[in-house]
A = this chain, B = another copy of it.
Amino acid sequence: MARRDIEILERLKAQGHRLTPQRGMVLSAIAGLGGHVGVDQIFQRVREVYPYMDVATVYRTLQLLKRLHLVTEIVTGSGAQYELVRQETDRHHHMVCEQCGTTFDFPASYAESLRGELTRAFGFVAHLDHFTVSGLCAACAGKQGVSTGG
């Protein structure tokens, strides 16, 4: 298990939660798959090493990790995706391609001015952990002949 996972398990324990092998396996799966992963990907991955794993446990574990802000949830049209929360210095947001479904990252800095303006103008405190822009990625936009100017 990676250093990152153990660190997270320690935080679970510190908050009074039990440190079960299943939780460890879910974390390993997310870390191993890397980036943004769906529930089923995690589930299948864990099954490879522990065939008794149940989807409900995956969901429950993800809910817990989400509640503790250890993973981030990205709600797409077809099933949520999850990823490990990164270092403060590596904050980022998401661009989801409507065509091919791929999720891309962009540095949080790009959205900071928007965030500031929304707070200033409307008093709305944006949680940019859960911030997703949909559209067309460069490849798909190219295929469709979409101008990148408008």
- Taking beta carbons and an 8 Å cutoff, which residues of A are in contact with B? 75-77, 80, 95, 97-98, 104, 106, 110-111, 113-114, 117-119, 121-128, 130-138, 141-142, 146, 148-149
Contact = CB atoms under 8 A, between A and B. Distances in A.
Contacts of A118: 95, 106, 110, 133, 135
Q: Which applies to chain A's interface (DSSP): helix, strand, loop or mixed?
A: mixed
Contacts of A124: 95, 97, 104, 106, 133, 135-138, 141
B136 A119 contact: no
A122 B138 contact: yes
Given A95-B122, A124-B133, A125-B148, 19 more contacts: A77-B80, A95-B118, A95-B124, A97-B124, A104-B124, A110-B118, A114-B114, A118-B133, A119-B149, A123-B137, A123-B138, A123-B141, A123-B148, A124-B136, A125-B141, A125-B146, A126-B133, A131-B134, A132-B132
